[in-house]
Structure 1
């Protein structure tokens, strides 16, 4: 079992923590998720209820979320959500939800990468009691590059590293 008989969200287990595990669809079926093994995970009852409540919090965003969450590439999931909500502040929690990187990535890094391919995305923070909430809004977007945004970002990063290495090489010879 991929999660070692532990909750994929909090890591608790029936043996060590006396929790009950449930099979969860990473992408809920109502949003287009299937029952294939790569879309399933174990969650403890508490984490599963938290996830259900989170999806209910975004009920008014159901259609843009449903269209974006099933896309293959994380940049496209985030970008299509922002495009669908163009001109509106999108809470970072909704972006994290559609990014579905499950602790393997950083959705805010993906936003920076979208900026590298010509998107204009602004960040706004708002205080809610003692918590600071972040929102993102797309003000300008570019069509998806041929090969997809992930490939375009990888190319930009590779070129940046080559320029940096060249600059380091020149400094080494100049000194």
Structure 2
């Protein structure tokens, strides 16, 4: 992830995390949100780096897991060979707060979201390097690439496992 959430993650102290758990991240995010400067991103897909989106963003979320922000109760298909990407466009912080908590912020039909699913992702930031949190490890860069490698990992699953649950089949790739 990049943007406000990555910066909040980097600024949340260990002592606060131990004392408050997840709430520590929420409090830190709220304390820095007002002064956070947007990311100036260019998001490209595919080996030819075809442009998908460019503009100012509050956050960039990248993942390939069963649950992904904004999918609500739908499950992602981790075997489809695609990386899920959500860009939360820049808007005044009060606009986000007026709409409610994170679940409302990440709802599927929100105008301030850009959603794509790609096998290859390339992101560049105009200007100085910014912080990205890669599963808890913070890096500072102005360029990030993510690829999906289908079949790279094998897992043992129970008999009820469905790689493409019904909820997913009703979801379109945007």
TM-score of the pair, normalised by structure 2: 0.23
Q: Could you say which structure has the greater relative contact order, defined with CA pairs below 8 angstroms and 6 or more residues apart?
A: 2
TM-score of the pair, normalised by structure 1: 0.23
Flag the structure with higher strand content. Answer: 2
Flag the structure with higher helix content. Answer: 1
